[in-house]
Amino acid sequence: MSVTDVNDEFGRPLKDLRISVTDRCNFRCRYCMPRERFNEDHTFLPKRAFLSFDEIEKVVRSTISLGLEKVRITGGEPLLRKNLPELISKLSKLDIDIALTTNASLLKKNAKDLRLAGLNRVTISLDALDPELHKQMSDSNISVDSILEGIDEAVRVGLSPVKINCVVQKGVNEEEVSKLVHYFRGTGIVVRFIEYMDVGRTNGWQLGQVVPSENVLNHLQKEFDLVPVEPTNNSDVAVRWAHSDGSGEIGFISSVTSPFCGDCVRARLSADGRLVTCLFASGGHDIRALIHNGADEEILQKAIAAIWTRRKDRYSEIRSEDTAALPRIEMSYIGG
């Protein structure tokens, strides 16, 4: 199939697809899946509704023909999906960069198989090095040590670069910021600080809980000599800074105080095959139904192109009390 780039209503191409392979997770991070809402009364997707690996591959193939360059496997916790390396192996035969976002609780035992299957890069979510705080933030009994072992294993097997994502929340983990920078300095691992976002409707987000990236940077500059790094491409959502002595980089993802919708080239595919064109969307387009009705790659390509060309999303740029009242998909359903 030949490649025909598609642009949305604001001229943004479709370059990046985040694929959620499950909506389940073994953590209950309060900003994502607060336990009181994601408990035994919560209805997770039935596993029979999940897209199969062949179906995911079919969607990716069709989207590559629209100019797609990267996929990121996410969730929920993607390593809870059985036989994930099989999916990676299928995708690795396509001409595409493959990354994974994980809480790393199961990474130590899976990193090697994932690498052998063709995974290129991994991003690990780690909000605190302090064991008690990590336990509290993830609302799980999985130890920080096991996460750090997962990170070491990822480096050892050559999943490179390894990046760490830390969501900073006021009054919760601000103290962890400089500890993380110290810990990963000189390792080649990049830590990125993310502003706490109003994704979904269950986390009770309030603007007052957001720590603007600028404050995090100011705080770090008192301790470290940091210099700005020129962005290498427009769709890179992180603003990069480096230690002046060359001992590594850090990044800031400022979706609340400095939205980047203008350069947003991402679509998301839920585990049950809905194509979602914005993290803050209220719903998605049912691609699974098309596949089950026999759509081949060409039909899928046309359907996805039609969805993308009508896209007008720019939630973070127009965030207001009115937009806050709209329904929103949960992060664990579509992945970060």
Residues at the contact surface with ligand SAM, assessed by CB under 6 A: 25, 31-32, 74-75, 77, 101-103, 125, 165, 167, 194, 196-197, 199, 203, 331-332, 335-336
Backbone CA torsion sign across 212, 218, 220, 224: positive
Closer Cβ to ligand SF4, 89 or 332, answer by number: 332
- 89/102 with CB nearer ligand SAM: 102
Rounded Cα–Cα distance for residues 14 and 274 (Å): 16
Could you tell me how many residues make up the chain?
Answer: 336
Q: Does 150 bind ligand SF4 (CB under 6 A)?
A: no
Q: Residue 44 is which amino acid?
A: F
By Cβ distance, which residue is nearest to ligand SAM? 336
Give the residue with the Cβ less far from ligand SF4, 117 or 194: 194
Q: Could you give the CA distance from residue 282 to residue 313 in angstroms, rounded to a whole number?
A: 11
Binding of ligand SF4 at residue 53 (CB under 6 A)? Answer: no
Enter the DSSP assignment of 43. -
- Which residue from 14, 76, 124, 300 is in contact with ligand SF4, where contact means CB under 6 A? 76
- In whole angstroms, the minimum distance from the beta carbon of 169 to ligand SF4 comes to 13
Q: What is the CA radius of gyration of the chain?
A: 19
Shortest separation between residue 276's beta carbon and ligand SF4, angstroms: 9
Indicate which single residue of 91, 279, 287, 304 sits in contact with ligand SF4 (rule: CB under 6 A). 279
**Considering only 72-80, 92-100, 145-153, 220-228, which stretch makes contact with ligand SF4 by CB under 6 A?**
72-80
Residues 84-103 that bind ligand SF4 (CB under 6 A): 103
- Return the HEC string of 207-229: HHHECCHHHHHHHHHCCCCEEEC
Task: Give the torsion sign (CA, 146, 152, 153, 155).
Answer: positive
Which residue in the set 280, 284, 300, 304 belongs to the binding site for ligand SF4 (CB under 6 A)? Answer: 280
Q: Are 144 and 128 in contact (CB under 8 A)?
A: yes
Q: Taking CB under 6 A as the rule, which mask of x and - marks residues 13-42 in contact with ligand SF4?
A: ------------x-xxx--xx---------
Pairing relationship of beta strands 274-276 and 285-286 according to DSSP bridges? antiparallel
Give the shortest CB-9-to-ligand SAM separation in angstroms.
26
Collect all residues with Cβ–Cβ distance below 8 Å to 167 and sequence separation of at least 6.
31, 125, 127, 194, 195, 196
In the complex, what is the shortest distance from the CB of residue 188 to ligand SF4, in angstroms, rounded to a whole number? 24
8 vs 198 by CB, closer to ligand SAM: 198
Please pick, from the candidates 87, 119, 264, 300, the single residue that binds ligand SF4 as defined by CB under 6 A: 264
Q: Which of 271, 267, 272 is nearest to 309 (CA)?
A: 267
**Could you give the CA distance from residue 42 to residue 20 in angstroms, rounded to a whole number?**
18
Compute the distance between CA of residue 214 and CA of residue 225 in angstroms, rounded to an integer.
Answer: 15
The minimum distance between CB 121 and ligand SF4, in angstroms, equals 17
**Which residues of this chain interact with ligand SF4, rule CB under 6 A?**
25, 27-29, 32-33, 75-77, 103, 125, 259-261, 264, 266, 278-280, 313-316, 332
